[in-house]
Structure 1
């Protein structure tokens, strides 16, 4: 049994047994704990859950989107990635330019009302097509504000300068691998009002020892059932990509979460997942011909030996 996956399952059990009921911004309600850490040995295998199928290509396209410094949904939609759609859709339906059916609290209503869900899906499809085809619309309503890509690649400092935090980390690893400043921060107090969703994984730091690259990422808020499996795999992939460019092996991935929660409408799904036995972890294969983190495409990243249990669907809280 994979220790990497077992500790995630142990976290789920711990929240169900010890967590506190809390209300939240979405109105859904959670079972929550405060403060938790897990350590994943990346030499053991790529930490993608096997107790339910996780769509790895969505993780890849989202990370490449971040690394491009992009904040517009068009790139994701072009790669059939819809994990951010609801936040862009919310921006449109709450604007003065929207004149369709009432979409107030669409996230909750679409789960509770089958007829409303049909109308919601129709409007969402219209939104997606507009982002893909209409440049003006995409600029207004496809852009999510100064979210991860902007902060990672174009951080604006109080001095008026723009900083590429990812490039800095790569350069610093190559020239000074013992540095304690291999840090990227996505949380900017002055930018929160300009972000459709403030960063949940707000900072990460790298560490080089014995020819291996390790990463610790920090989360202020974490949806354990839907979000955390993506977050773990995404930062594992980022660690592999940077290690690849810097000529290093991969070491540990360390997760530190603050408000770590299971949504009240995910409990049944979590309990179902906990009945499943973990399987052997897959491995990651990168195109050796690609030298720079920023030059990777979808076709340059391959998951090998992934044989999970079937998917378990659950609604996203918006």
Structure 2
């Protein structure tokens, strides 16, 4: 059965059974009817997924993998902060009349900095360092720029990616690992979405760097379940589990900027019914 299911079930059970509540506290999020959106939360959750074993998609319900990839391309490949460059509507709530979400996400990836060996934005620097200096401990992207926070329509949630290369003596190629740091996460709405997104990002970057995609380590500072999601979560984690799907990329793509969602190949994805009409706190 899918190991991602087991991790998700364990995490959700721990939050519900051992988490603390924000009920009665001053909170920013609210429901569409204006009611405060309280949570049960755990601080400092860390989950590990090894892509050499299987792709970490939930089977308890379906994760829209191509849509997840589309958003990750929007941020790290297109370096866009405009929802008109995105096929899904998940950012519509935070966009202005022009479609911009402010100086957030892709905008930050695209900011160019000067180095002794040239000028590079964040993603181009990652790709260069993995080609030329793969064992560097400084291969990082960071979207949480304090000087620009006041001009972001939403502060970044998943904001920090650290790439790290290891070499197993029994492997012909080095392994690329990725650590994702997230300040806050709505577990029901976004957990496996983010996990699958960054697993796909790891796979893409590994492929164009001629490496093996290895571990995805996901660190969440504030892992929370909203009050109106608790019963949905309880039902979800009680469902039947299935084997993980096979997920791979078109091996012909050698340039990070050539990937499209058509290059994501998903096979054997068995899953439970979709959870519909999830209330989203804003």
* Residue 25 (1) aligns with residue 28 (2): yes
Q: Which residue of 1 aligns with 2:55?
A: 46
* Residue 170 (1) aligns with residue 179 (2): no
Q: Which residue of 2 aligns with 1:4?
A: 4
Q: Which residue of 1 aligns with 2:84?
A: 74
Q: Aligned partners of 1:36 and 1:64: how far apart in 2?
A: 26
* Residue 239 (1) aligns with residue 202 (2): yes
State how 1:133-212 maps to structure 2 within 5 Å.
137-138=97-98, 142-154=99-111, 163-210=120-167, 211-212=174-175
User: What TM-score, normalized to structure 1?
Assistant: 0.79
* Residue 305 (1) aligns with residue 268 (2): yes
Q: How many residues align?
A: 262
CA contact (8 A) 1:205 1:216 kept: yes
Q: Which residue of 2 aligns with 1:127?
A: none
- 1:230–1:317 CA distance, 2 compared to 1 (3 A): same
Q: Unaligned stretches of 5+ in structure 1?
A: 92-136
**Aligned-pair Cα RMSD in Å:** 1.6
User: What TM-score, normalized to structure 2?
Assistant: 0.89
Q: Aligned partners of 1:147 and 1:234: how far apart in 2?
A: 18
Superposition misfits of 4+ residues, deviation over 6 angstroms: none
Q: Aligned partners of 2:152 and 2:42: how far apart in 1?
A: 26
- Between stretches 6-15 and 280-289, larger displacement belongs to 280-289
CA contact (8 A) 1:154 1:162 kept: no
Q: Aligned partners of 2:242 and 2:233: how far apart in 1?
A: 17
CA contact (8 A) 2:2 2:59 kept: no
Structure richer in helix, relative to its length = 1
Give a deviation string over 1:92-125, Cα, whole Å, max 9, x none.
Answer: xxxxxxxxxxxxxxxxxxxxxxxxxxxxxxxxxx
- 1:169–1:156 CA distance, 2 compared to 1 (3 A): closer
Give a deviation string over 1:35-82, Cα, whole Å, max 9, x none.
Answer: 110110111221111101111221011111112111111122xx3x11
* Residue 265 (1) aligns with residue 234 (2): no
